[in-house]
Amino acid sequence: MGKFIGKLLVTACAAIIAAYLLPGVTIVDSVTAILLALVLALLNSFVKPILIILTIPLTIITLGLFLLVINILIIKWASDIVPGFKVDGWWDALLFSILLSLTTALIESLLGTNKKEEK
């Protein structure tokens, strides 16, 4: 449970950084960022796999680029669900998705949370 909460906090920090860097993305406060991280975790866990399975032919035809469209949809749906989180357009959602992934990976590598625990 502690690892999940840590991952949520890292994602919330990454979302705040990404929103700060992108003018088309707005996060009102840190509580909104934590709620956004939770909603993104739920959407990525339950909705995204279903979308990926349903769009396998389109993903194959586009050589995987359609997965970016799925990421955009997840971000746009999160902006509809989370009050205080606003994404202006599709390009902003794409850039936010990419920047969020990169920032999360950077923060986790700096904290060392990506390493597997040794027994």
* Distance between CA atoms of residues 20 and 42, nearest Å: 24
The amino acid sitting at 73 is: L
User: Where are the extended beta strands (E) located within the chain?
Assistant: 25-27, 85-87
Tokens, residue 39 = 């909603």
Residue 1 has pLDDT above 90, yes or no: no
Helices (H), the chain: 2-21, 30-42, 48-54, 56-61, 66-81, 90-111
Q: What is the pLDDT of residues 45-71, one digit of tens each?
A: 999 999 999 999 999 999 999 999 999
Q: What is the DSSP letter of 84?
A: T
Residue 2 has pLDDT above 90, yes or no: no
pTM for this predicted structure = 0.88
